[in-house]
Copies of this chain bind each other. A is one copy, B any other.
């Protein structure tokens, strides 16, 4: 982050025709955007792309969710047809949807509307062994970096995280527990809406996986290999790619939050590019945001994933940037200041 640009943004906010500080969190966000870009005003965070990283999870076999694994494949088809909530919300905010197969178990029809970078057809069951090899984790991270870099090369100036993967909140809970030190019971949630018995079982599954692997948070690729998901790995890379390009990336829910913890462990400065789009109903998400020191923009009990919560935050990010470019100052508008 660029301190001079941040100071210039803060000073400009204080000169705009409004009471100083009256835009609250959006003023802070505008300062962060300026710092990231190294310019005040920062470039407009548009056009917007959301990359939906889809993958399956071997831990599904442990019965952590009532949803069949095939739903991942079916929902990718739904997204490609434009029928998922992520598509509707992307149309609302004018975002391009990039669907990415980084590890779906099923076979997907090829096409220009699918970025096929399948590392493996779903992870292995983390309670029985590593979810993936270290090399596979690295390959998935690199795929995410390349996709972010490619979107920036295509002209996108605001990236949004998306994800699809039945059972992926289990991997997220494990990642959050590793990187925050929290007990699995504190950071494992109901995902799509499981009952008390399934939640207790899910906590036990996470606990057993962590006991088996004792992942070291100082070795992020090792953590991904042990208990991660392919979409988590790719999302960590996506965050790194956005940060390297100094393009802001809006994080969706607990999948993105746990992936951002991986990115932060790999490169702490990457957090400067992250905007917390929302806070989901998953307890692990709140823990991840606290660890990242990010304040969510939206808090509406969403727990859908796909990138939906982050997309809803896009107009807020753009509005924050817009204040620095479009709003008159006291001088320019000849408005009196307070006595």
Contact = CB atoms under 8 A, between A and B. Distances in A.
A114 B301 CA distance: 40
Nearest to A302: B24
A202 to B, nearest CB: 14
B71 A319 contact: no
Given A77-B333, A322-B92, A338-B192, A22 B327 contact: no
Contacts of A334: 74, 77
Contacts of A91: 322, 326
B312 A315 contact: yes
Among A192, A308, A318, A326, the most chain B Cβ lie within 10 Å of the Cβ of A326
A316 B327 contact: no
Interface string A60-73: 00000111101100
Given A300-B297, A304-B18, A328-B83, A74 B322 contact: no
Interface string A279-314: 001000000000000000111111110001000100
Interface string A15-27: 0111111111110
A83 B88 CA distance: 32
Contacts of A92: 315, 318-319, 322
A322 B87 CA distance: 10
A308 B20 CA distance: 15
A338 B17 contact: no
B304 A85 contact: no
B333 A24 contact: no
A87 B319 CA distance: 11
B323 A85 contact: yes
A107 interface: no
Contacts of A319: 88-89, 92, 312
A88 to B, nearest CB: 4
A24 B253 CA distance: 13
Nearest to A26: B300
A163 to B, nearest CB: 14
B17 A78 contact: yes
B304 A23 contact: yes
Given A21-B193, A24-B302, A339-B66, A322 B89 contact: yes
Contacts of A315: 92-93, 312, 315
Among A23, A318, A323, the most chain B Cβ lie within 10 Å of the Cβ of A23
A211 interface: no
A39 interface: no
A91 B304 CA distance: 29
A335 interface: yes
Contact of A333 (B18, B81, B93, B338): B81
Given A192-B22, A339-B66, A87 B304 contact: no
Given A70-B336, A83-B326, A91-B322, 17 more contacts: A17-B75, A21-B193, A23-B304, A25-B300, A25-B302, A26-B300, A74-B334, A74-B336, A75-B335, A87-B327, A88-B327, A91-B326, A92-B315, A92-B318, A298-B298, A300-B316, A312-B315
